Structures are given as C-alpha cells and as structure tokens.
Amino acid sequence: MPQKLNLLFESNPLAAIEWGLDLRVVAWNQAATNTFGYTKEEAIGHNLAELIIPKGLHASMNSLLESLFQQKESTNNFNDNITKTGEIINCQWCNHPLLDNQEQVTGVLSIVQHIPLNPLRDVDGFFLNSLDLLCIISIEGYFQKFNAIWLETLGYTEAELKTSPFIDFVHPEDVPATLAEAEKLANGQDVLNFENRYRAKDGSYVWFSWRVTLSADGKFMYAVARDITAQKRAEAVLQAQAAQLRESEKRYQSLVESKLLETQTFLESVLTDLPVAVFAKDAQNLKFILCNRAGEELLNFKAEDLLGKDDYDLFPLEQAELFNQKDREVLNSGQTLDIPEEIVQSGSGKNLIFHTKKTPILDRAGVAQFLLIICEDITDRKLAEQQLRDQAAILEAFVEHTPVPIALFDKEMRYLVANRCWLVDNNLVGQNIIGRSQYELFPDLPDRWKAGHQRCLAGAAESSEADPFLRADGSLDYVRWQSLPWRDAQGEIGGILMYSEIVTARVKAEEERRNLAAIVSNTSDFIGITSLESKKILYINPAGLELVGLGSLELSRTRDIGDLFAPKERELISQSIGEAMTKGKWQGEVMFQHLVTGEEIAAHANIF
C-alpha cells in the first residue's frame, strides 16, 4: 500500500479493514482494534466472519459477503458484531470493492463505525405503532417506557405506573412465580409465554402473557405483554363446560356400560343357546377362552375342561398341528378362512367331519386379539352323500349292464343317464349326450311322442309294443317303448325314465310268419309238422286235414304221424324221417290212407 494511503488508513478514526476473497483479514488499523478489541497481529490472516460476526449470523453473513464479490460498487449496511470480549455491538459498514487492472474484484476495504443504541430513543416509532403492550423496565424494576395501550388497559396515569415497581401491580398469588421468572432473566434466559395477573386501577385484574429479554448491557428488560383476559375468561367458560361435559360423559358412560352389560348378557344368552358350535381363542397363545353349549356337545368336552387349553392338549398331534397352522394363517392374513371339510377327533375318540369358519377379531389398530371359530358337524351329511354316491354308482352299474336300452331325462328332456344298449340302439355311440336334449338329437321325433312325454311329465305312464317311427332318411323302424315319471326326494316329478327298444326285426319276422301262415293255410297241398321225439302231429293245414279225413286240428294232435299213411308205408315214413334228419331232406312217393273211408291216396312227399 503506498505510504500516503497507508498513513490515511492507519490514522483513520473509524475502523478500517481490508480483507480478501477468502474472507481473511489483510490490513487492520488501530481504530479497528479499539472497536473490536483484537490487535493487528490477532486479526491479520484470520477469517473476518469468525472474528467479529456472531455465530448465529455466519450463514447469512457469508451469503452477503459472497454477493458483495459479484459487484463493483460500494455498499452500506448495518450489522450486529461481536467484540473480543463477547459484547454485541451495532455497526455501520461501508464496503468498497478493490479491483485489479482487469476490473476484477480482488478484495474489499471496509470502513466500520460503531453505532451505540439509545433504546429509549430508537424504539419510539415501534412503541407508537404496536398493538401489544410494550415496555422497557429498568433492572431495578421500574417502568422506563411503555406505550399508550398500558394506560388504556390498566387505567393508570403514566406517573402512577412509573412511580411504583412493577411487582406492586402483580396479583399476590402470582408474585413468587413472577420473581422466579425475573431470576431466570437475570441469568440470561429469556422469558417466553409467562402468564400473570396485573391489578387495574378499578381493582380488577388483567391477565397478561409475557415475552421478556434482557438488554445486551444487562441494564434494561425489554418486554412485550399481551392482554389474554378474554382468553382466560373463555378458558374458564370452556373449563366449566368441559366439567359439565365430563359429568355428562360420566353419566353417558354409565348408561353405555349398563347397556353394554345388557347387550353382553343378551349376546351371551344367544351364544349359549345358539345351535351352532362357537369357540374363541386368544390370538397370542391360541388357548380356548370361549365355548358355547353346542360346542360342548359337538366335541364331547365340558367347557371347564376346554378353556385355558390349546389344541395340543385336546387333539392328536397331527390334527393339532394342522389346526394351529390354519389358526396362524388366519391371524397373519386378517381374513376369514372357510374350511369346507376337516377331520376332528371328539372327546369320545370318534373322528367327526366339520365345516369350519375361522375369523380374526381385530382391535381398532387392525391387530388380531382373538380368533373366532364356528363349526358345523357335517358327518351325517357326508355319510349320506357317500351313500347317495354309492347308490348312484350301483344304479349306474345296473343301468349300464341292463340288457335293455334305458335312459333318464330331466323335465326339459335333457339326458341325465343312458346305458350302452340305448346308445347302440339309437346310433349314439361315441357321442357325449349328457345334458343334451332328446329333441336336439332326434329332431324328427313324431309329435305324438312329444305329447306322450308331456303327459308322462304330468304323471301318466305311457307305453307301446311296436310304435312305427318314420326316420328322416325315409326308413321305417318299429319301437317298443315305455315312459314313466321319476320323482325326487320331495316327491316332485323330476323327469322321465324311458325304456326304448328297436323291434323292427321282430315285427318284420312276425309279419313274415303271418304271411307264411296265410300261405300254408290257403295252399291245396298237404303240409304237416310233427314232433321228432313223440312222433305226435303238431300241425296240419286245412287241405291236409281234408286229405286224410281229420275233422279238425285238435283231433290231429292226438295222432301219430304214422297213422296218416297206409300200414305198408309206415316203416318207410319212419326211415324217411330219419334220413331227413341226417341229410337234411328226403323226398319220394308215399301212400296216405283216408282215416274214414280207408282209401289209399298216392302222393309225392318232401320231408325236411
């Protein structure tokens, strides 16, 4: 620094400080020593902020200093600073950026003036404009300054307030606590939200809420009071109302408890007499804590033998392990578990089948406290179901192996059961017909059959020995059938049981037999049938009866076949029959004899 400038710097009556971009002090004059207490040797080379900036202001001051490096003009500001002895002082700073030849900031020259505060002068504007009760009290306890709201609130004159210590205005009951707060203040601890009562001129008391801090030199107390009388009155009203509410709540709670007791008694009565077995377990140890009468009967345990025990105390190990696993699953998931079937050993040692529901009982926080178990004994039902299945299997086997076609239909004529004979007779082998309609499979069924089905569904029994059925392809079949209504367990008609057999071959055979009989009856030749064992005549056509002189077929059946021939022919006829039996046929000339006239009649015979 040039000599003249250095002389000006050193002799400046104001503190002069030069500091670099790293905030370290480069130059420090005597006035700076007088202001802050640090010698030149103690200051140069040290961080300026750490020397004279209060720790609570470091962050904001660093931000201010960094922004200062970004500009090239002088700035002025007021700061709270701290001296070497720890005193907080207010200073005005005039900061001049130092530039190099390239106009870049290389440091800062600051001229600093200590500005002593006159609290009684500087707070006038603040006092006048504040809506709170503001005051400055000397360390001796006398009001030094206060705003007009004090006079309006308490009714005293300015002189009356200033001539008595503030403690004289405090309610006697609040004096000890007020003095204790003053002691804290003297020890450097601010007073925050302290409440006490001040006597007004009319003898009433006003509630104040205080915030008080001690001046830096310890000579004054800066206080802000807020009138909370209305708030206190409201609190008193609220407290009275709260007391009334508590009393009402107490009466209500008593009523609720009474109702709860009634409800609990009612529920216990219902639970006791409920025909369904109900149990409850503690969620922590899974020990039984409840068992109703139906539960006792179901498990064949007395409640006193059950309560306080867990599954391992009551059931076989394998069952207990399974029950415990399911219980934990329900408690962990928080969801009801429906168990359609489970095996449970009763107190008598008999295994039963239960339908069980397990439900967690949760508290308001959603944590399971209890496990509710509802059980239904379905042993008899399961046995009945098994019997029904067995009967159904027997019926199915019977139907399947019955050598006649059988089918079972519901009310809509949909197939329920059909045996193989039915499938074969109706050309349905290889098709899945269960659930399908008879009318869908056979759209060409005659309307008379459909009408018969409806009569059968109304309770009638229908049958036919040889019902003609013209198929869609033009072929004609004859069906022997019978339809009967079947009834369910309630006696209601559930559908039709149908027997149906294709008898076309039999009908045609019967027709051919009738045609043959007509031919035999009307032919002029002798036709006869005889028994091989007895040689008795079984049949002779009308022309034959006339030929041998027999009046009727009945008379012929009393004769041997040999009686119809001449005696000399009878041995031949016997041999001819034997040859026909051996070779399948015999033919030749024979001689009949008329049984009435004895006349012999020559004929050509075919025996087979």
pLDDT digits (tens, 9 = 90+) for 306-334: 899 998 998 899 888 999 999 999 999 98
119-123, 183-187, 322-326: segment of lowest average pLDDT: 119-123
- Name residue, tokens 């306080």: 308
CATH superfamily to which 384-507 belongs: PAS domain (3.30.450.20)
One CATH from 1.10.10.60, 3.30.450.20, 3.30.2320.80, 3.40.120.10 for 3-116: 3.30.450.20
Neighbours of 2 (CB within 10 A): 7
For the stretch 537-586, pLDDT in tens is 777 878 778 788 887 766 667 777 777 888 888 888 778 888 878 888 88
pLDDT of residue 436: 94
Architecture of domain 523-607: 2-Layer Sandwich (3.30)
Instruction: Provide the sign of the torsion angle of the four alpha carbons 146, 151, 156, 158, taken in this order.
Output: positive
Mean pLDDT of 504-524: 75
**Residue range 55-72: average pLDDT?**
64
Rounded to 10 degrees, what is the CA torsion of 169, 175, 181, 185?
50
- CATH architecture assigned to 275-377: 2-Layer Sandwich (3.30)
Output the pLDDT for position 286: 92
At 57 the pLDDT is 66
What CATH homologous superfamily does 120-227 map to?
Answer: PAS domain (3.30.450.20)
Q: What are the structure tokens assigned to 203, written together?
A: 């003898």
Q: Where in the chain is the domain with CATH 3.30.450.20?
A: 3-116, 120-227, 275-377, 384-507, 523-607
pLDDT at 120: 45
Q: Render pLDDT for 247-296 as a digit per residue (tens, 0 to 9).
A: 888 888 888 777 767 766 666 676 777 788 898 999 999 999 888 888 88
Are the C-beta atoms of residues 117 and 142 closer than 8 Å to each other? no
Whether the pLDDT of residue 121 is over 80: the answer is: no
| DSSP secondary structure string for all residues of 557-604 | TTSBGGGGB-GGGHHHHHHHHHHHHHHS-EEEEEEEE-TTT--EEEEE
Q: Sign of torsion, CA 302 305 309 315?
A: negative
pLDDT of residue 439: 92
CA pseudo-torsion sign 60, 66, 71, 75: positive
At 257 the three-state DSSP class reads helix
Bridge pairing between strands 88-99 and 75-82: antiparallel
Instruction: Give residue 166's identity as a one-letter amino acid code.
Output: F
Give the best-scoring range by mean pLDDT among 25-29, 298-302, 400-404, 467-471. 25-29
% of the chain residues with pLDDT over 70: 89
pLDDT-derived band at 28 (thresholds 50, 70, 90) equals: very high
CB 483 within 8 A of CB 463: yes
